[in-house]
Structure 1
């Protein structure tokens, strides 16, 4: 993994966290210096430590997709925090077909879905991770 430190520019994560960007930086391949907002959004929602753990736990060939998914989710929450959380909640309860995710569905069905009590018993899923 090449780091942005080889070109004397820290990656967006190291710059934001005010750390020296080392050659083995976990964040450098996924948060280039020219995309600071991407890291800021992901850090604000998930936290740098959690993102680092996720990157290290995911298979190397899936890491870019995982980071892109985090960035997408963070951007969605930034743009529409209330609906982003409630749409995920409805999807987790099985009340919303995955192909109909969106504002129109939410606006029509916001008060109509029911989630079983079992969801509240394990708020972080079977493996301790978030839903």
Structure 2
């Protein structure tokens, strides 16, 4: 940066910010919390080495990833962003199962409203029994404990989107 205000990393590290500072484009002085988290989790030296090894056009994405991972590690030191991903995948699976149950219920309602055909078919009680058994099986599957090792209740407390 080299101008009036040093970048957030040079401020935190208490050093002079030069015009070729590798951190300056990614950690502006008005966002010191970003570098503070990344520094605490990865260390300034490691981040500097990572950025130097990358082509210029990939550095901004790398910094975004480092900030995201550092934030996740600060919230959950054990699982980091993997915990958040696992939680979201579990949530998607549950929502897919709920969608399947809703579609089955719609199908059941549509079948009950169809006019009777001349061929022998199941009566309404038989249809209701079959659909009820299917829905019970789906509900048991939905309530089956997750195979994930990530404690779901802990994730619900840690992540704002839960």
Which residue number in structure 2 is paired with residue 122 of structure 1?
A: none
Give yes or no for contact 1:42–1:74 (8 Å, CA) kept in 2. Answer: yes
Gaps of 5+ in 2: 91-144, 151-162
Moved over 3 A (4+): none
Find the partner of 1:15 among 6, 11, 27: 11
Find the partner of 1:33 among 11, 29, 38: 29
Gaps of 5+ in 1: 89-99, 112-131
In our comparison, the structure showing a higher alpha carbon Rg is 2
The TM-score with structure 2 as length reference comes to 0.53
Structure with the bigger percentage of helix: 2
Pairing 1:81–2:65 present: no
Question: What does residue range 63-78 of structure 1 map to in structure 2 within 5 Å?
Answer: 63-78=59-74
CA RMSD of aligned residues (A): 2.4
- How many angstroms apart in 1 are the aligned matches of 2:79 and 2:61? 23
- How many angstroms apart in 2 are the aligned matches of 1:39 and 1:26? 12
Q: What SS does the corresponding residue of 2:17 show, helix, strand or coil?
A: coil
